[in-house]
Structure 1
């Protein structure tokens, strides 16, 4: 009988694999029997939870493809060999880590990186038989770049890779498989007790039946005292009901569990903690266990709150600057009556800038605007508020909503303030019944904004370009990189503004 895999032969790059003999050996051994093996699936579930990644795989590299004996967070059962990261990982002496695949010349053009999957982070522990044959890798994947693995995560991945090899080496012996699973569970518990995080596990109904040593060290409670539902009593009273509701939602839907709460430490201090959990499922998709962690984030939480307070204070002072500038303009106008009309226009523009800043600035729960502070519809609604009568809207914003930020809010505010001001003086808002529609349409790489006035006084093209028109050009063309087209239709001014989507938001 041919062995599972043939011996590898060395060449200049290290160990290589005799594909022809190995393929025959795989066919005889029938690796199909190991596809989606429950014990291997538990290993990939644990590897994903341990490393905090959405995906983990047991990958065997064949002549034309790599096949996944177990997979967590991925639907595909195999991928082409030429796109395989594991081809490289299985020839390494230890875990191969790719922090950001877009910066690695080996993988930057890989379809798994450039395509829909968007792979960025990879870490793979080689699966090497005792006689030196390289089979594939146990790997974890993420769509976001990462610095690497912690020492505990790397240690755990090696332990789990050894468990995979144990399963592969004797998949036909039922008794040996049970022993391997039992030993694997023991390894899991040993590994969990060495982790810096608090680790816990529950039955499918949410009954907590396991905590690692770190939980008891942190909380100081006797072993077993928080089994069942006792864990909730360890939370701050103000967080208990919220945590219970989120946990019940995960139990009922199978959605991942994630929440921040204050956990009581052994000295009585409540510390901000990040709780996460993922369900482990059987071959039929039923949840057989929940595996979770608790991470102390108290210092990060306090630092974040301090940054938010500073940002709000700075933004409040900027808002006060706008008020001071408006006051100075008004003061100057009183001393120079000939400056009154110019001062009124200038104050209106400063007020528009202030509205734009106030919309996108950091807000507290009390000061946050009704619309999302990244919404173009929300910004225009705030900007047009002074032009809207109480008995109904005369400026209607319709169409697609897009994300904006502080970079684009200022030129957009100036642009539409000028249009609204001109409409008040000469166009649709110069009488009591004219209206304006602003139609927004998002295309592939640009945003079209159509300003259309109806029912106002007849308009004619100006003989020369005024400051307001120059300001519109400055905002749309120079600051946003767009284009402005005007149609001086006597029935109502039409303006089309095209803006590249890249100018609207940093994201």
Structure 2
């Protein structure tokens, strides 16, 4: 038998602490649930099934029991010390039956037994939460003892009604949990959005975002500060009107391409400043994708690069002017050599060779120097193949029978390697034109470039020229110049093989000698 406290609360041996039960009960939020009548039909059917005057759905808490549905009983709650259901929910059987409460020591002295409504018969099916925590019971009560208790059909029916009650309560709990989850999610989203906006507003760049279709729906404070436009006035497609007229179509085309392909967006354009001028900015955007790879949003930035752009343009102008003057110096030197040759006829052969070397250096410089869009070479300025093609132009011949062919790997070059490469291959081509394969119409040269890890092999192979019998007895100035360029300036090695069909020169040069690492060279 349970023991009582001074406040009348019955102390029952619970499977879980009352604090845990209270937390579980709270998840159902059942305050005022009786007024909704959500369980009245189940209570009415229990009374009809068991042929009793009273049927209740009780929720047993630490000090009281409240009724979520009631038939034939008008009190909304009672003290727990008068609760039959407090015992029923903790019983070993799904349904507890009390044939006559006056004959049961647990209940005989209860006020509801000794007094109104004079409970005699009780039967209750326990209500258990999904965690296994007892909550209360659905019960039937009568003022008349019932020695026979319940039939098997009634007992089973009461169990089914208990399951139905918990099903409805569980649905309510699930709805509440869903609402709570949604609210918590909204709160997290709102907090995340607030954090993002705060972060975006502190950035020096203009930040914007669009929907998957490209509709602009957000700009940070920096955008409005830069453009001077009212908040929201550039949403949708109005952003393009902020660009310089000459840049609008280009920006639209690039943006549509990114939207269609999902490729990152990057472009430089002129954006109208709040003072009415146009400033150069760099626009970038990346897509955000869901787990299935679908784009859910685009985030982008606009960075003011106007000062850098102007400085770069000024530097380009200065670089082009310096390069133009250097080119003029080459022309002046060639002119001086020609003038000296006319004054000293015996100097003519040497002058011609020297002038040709100066011309080769001029070609190399012209290839790697800064250019305007109008003077830009057709080949990439960092291409070894492009540089060699430019140097060999005087020896190329027709398309049906090229005299010099460049094949194999391409290697990046810059202004540091262009000069020794120009001298090196000018000497080889000149010697081939004077004495080797290019001295006859049927001769040709193949230059094969092969990259092997950190080394580059350049193989110059002549064929179809005069047959060779022995190597020259001594090396001329041209050979010394080849050694100077390849070994001293490029840090490589040179090997000559005087094969019968023509000269083969193999040059091994470190890859690092061709160009500087990115970001370490002079600006062009």
Class of the TM-score when normalised by the shorter of the 2 chains? 0.5 to 0.7
Compute the TM-score of the two structures, normalised by the length of structure 1. 0.64
Question: Do structure 1's residue 468 and structure 2's residue 478 form an aligned pair?
Answer: yes
For 1:422, the equivalent position in structure 2 comes to 431
Q: How many angstroms apart in 2 are the aligned matches of 1:194 and 1:370? A: 45
Unpaired runs of 5+ residues, structure 1, are 1-171
For 2:285, the equivalent position in structure 1 comes to 277
Partner-residue secondary structure (3-state), 1:429: helix
For 2:406, the equivalent position in structure 1 comes to 397
Q: How many angstroms apart in 2 are the aligned matches of 1:194 and 1:375? A: 43
For 2:211, the equivalent position in structure 1 comes to 203
Q: What RMSD in Å do the two structures reach over aligned CA positions?
A: 1.5
For 1:477, the equivalent position in structure 2 comes to 487
Out of 260, 264, 268, which is 1:256 matched to?
264
* Cα deviations by residue, 1:121-160 (Å, 9 ceiling, x for unpaired): xxxxxxxxxxxxxxxxxxxxxxxxxxxxxxxxxxxxxxxx
Out of 370, 387, 390, which is 2:395 matched to?
387
1:246-395 equivalences in 2 (<5 Å): 246-390=254-398, 392-395=401-404
Deviation at 1:184, TM superposition (A): 1.6
Q: How many angstroms apart in 1 are the aligned matches of 2:322 and 2:193? A: 53
Q: How many angstroms apart in 2 are the aligned matches of 1:273 and 1:188? A: 23
Question: Do structure 1's residue 433 and structure 2's residue 445 form an aligned pair?
Answer: no
Compute the TM-score of the two structures, normalised by the length of structure 2. 0.62
* Cα deviations by residue, 1:54-94 (Å, 9 ceiling, x for unpaired): xxxxxxxxxxxxxxxxxxxxxxxxxxxxxxxxxxxxxxxxx
Partner-residue secondary structure (3-state), 1:284: coil
Deviation at 1:269, TM superposition (A): 0.5
Out of 497, 508, 521, which is 1:498 matched to?
508
Deviation at 1:324, TM superposition (A): 0.7
Distance 1:450 1:191, change over 3 A: closer
Deviation at 1:316, TM superposition (A): 0.8
Aligned structure 1 segments of 4 or more residues deviating by more than 3 angstroms: 172-175
Question: Do structure 1's residue 410 and structure 2's residue 412 form an aligned pair?
Answer: no
Q: How many angstroms apart in 2 are the aligned matches of 1:193 and 1:472? A: 61
Deviation at 1:216, TM superposition (A): 1.9
Deviation at 1:173, TM superposition (A): 5.5
Q: How many angstroms apart in 1 are the aligned matches of 2:434 and 2:197? A: 76
Partner-residue secondary structure (3-state), 2:502: coil
Deviation at 1:174, TM superposition (A): 5.4
For 1:143, the equivalent position in structure 2 comes to none
Partner-residue secondary structure (3-state), 1:227: coil
Deviation at 1:390, TM superposition (A): 4.0
Q: How many angstroms apart in 1 are the aligned matches of 2:377 and 2:204? A: 41
Q: How many angstroms apart in 2 are the aligned matches of 1:376 and 1:194? A: 46
Unpaired runs of 5+ residues, structure 2, are 1-179, 518-524
Q: How many angstroms apart in 2 are the aligned matches of 1:211 and 1:388? A: 58
Q: How many angstroms apart in 2 are the aligned matches of 1:349 and 1:378? A: 19
Question: Do structure 1's residue 445 and structure 2's residue 454 form an aligned pair?
Answer: yes
Out of 213, 233, 243, which is 1:235 matched to?
243
Partner-residue secondary structure (3-state), 1:493: strand
Out of 191, 213, 218, which is 2:226 matched to?
218
* Cα deviations by residue, 1:183-210 (Å, 9 ceiling, x for unpaired): 2212222332333322211111100111
Paired residues in the alignment total 336
Q: How many angstroms apart in 2 are the aligned matches of 1:190 and 1:445? A: 49
Partner-residue secondary structure (3-state), 1:423: helix
Question: Do structure 1's residue 189 and structure 2's residue 197 form an aligned pair?
Answer: yes
Deviation at 1:454, TM superposition (A): 1.0
